[in-house]
């Protein structure tokens, strides 16, 4: 889990890393830039799920949306949330909050009573994929 996806690197750095003719000096320079990007700054922490709606393990009335809030921003394009159960056609595409910390998945109609499992994976700001799952119940 220490690699940075190439798509997460700035365009100029991608150009460096793709240039097969680059000399050893440039190679070392690019490597040190990547190492610096990974190891510095408070914004480079791993994103973790901080809270959710419905809350982990809770029993709730049918929700109008699912919300997953992370400790740091996540990339919507590389994030997925699925919900198991009788939910076909009821779950919309994820959106993201303005601060980039919360994935919001609209739920249309009502979910029938029972247990549901939310599976999620997300690309955190530090370039690492994070994933997890939790359950909740609808009364
Ligand atoms: Cu990380």
> What secondary structure, in 3-state letters, does 103-132 show?
EEEEECCCCCCEEEEEEEEEEECCCCEEEE
Q: How far is the CA of 122 from the centre of ligand 1 (A)?
A: 11
- Which stretches does DSSP call E strand in the chain? 49-53, 59-60, 65-70, 74-84, 95-96, 102-106, 114-124, 129-138
Q: What is the predicted pLDDT for the residue at 69?
A: 98
What integer pLDDT is reported at residue 40 of this predicted model? Answer: 47
pLDDT of residue 88: 75
- Which pLDDT score is estimated for 79? 95
Domain with CATH 2.60.40.1220 in the chain: 49-138
**Cα 112 to middle of ligand 1, angstroms:** 37
Average pLDDT of every residue of the chain = 81
pLDDT of residue 138: 94
Query: What residues does 129 pair with on adjacent strands?
Result: 123
Nearest to 124 by CA among 54, 52, 50: 50
Instruction: Return the sign of the alpha-carbon dihedral for residues 87, 92, 93, 98.
Output: negative
Distance 9 CA to ligand 1 centre (A): 15
- Residue 46: predicted pLDDT: 82
- What is the full per-residue pLDDT of the chain (139 aa) written as tens digits? 455 555 555 565 555 555 555 566 655 555 655 554 544 445 567 899 999 999 999 999 999 999 999 999 999 999 999 999 877 778 899 999 999 999 999 999 899 999 999 999 999 989 999 999 999 999 9
Cα 49 to ligand 1 centroid, rounded to whole Å: 13
- Domain 49-138 fold is Immunoglobulin-like (2.60.40)
Give distance in angstroms: CA of 98 to centre of ligand 1: 21
């Amino acid at each position: 889990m220490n690699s940075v996806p190439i798509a997460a690197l700035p365009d100029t750095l991608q150009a460096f890393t793709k240039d097969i003719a680059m000399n050893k000096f440039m190679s070392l320079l690019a490597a040190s830039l990547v190492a610096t990007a990974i190891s510095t700054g408070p914004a480079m922490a791993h994103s973790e799920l901080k809270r959710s709606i419905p809350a982990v393990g809770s029993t709730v009335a049918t929700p109008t949306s699912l919300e997953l809030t992370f400790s740091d921003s996540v990339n919507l394009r590389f994030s997925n949330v699925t919900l198991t159960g009788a939910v076909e056609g009821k779950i919309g595409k994820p959106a993201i909050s303005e601060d980039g910390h919360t994935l919001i998945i609209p739920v249309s109609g009502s979910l029938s009573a029972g247990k549901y499992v939310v599976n999620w994976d997300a690309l955190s700001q530090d370039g690492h994929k994070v994933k997890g799952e939790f359950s909740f119940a609808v009364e």
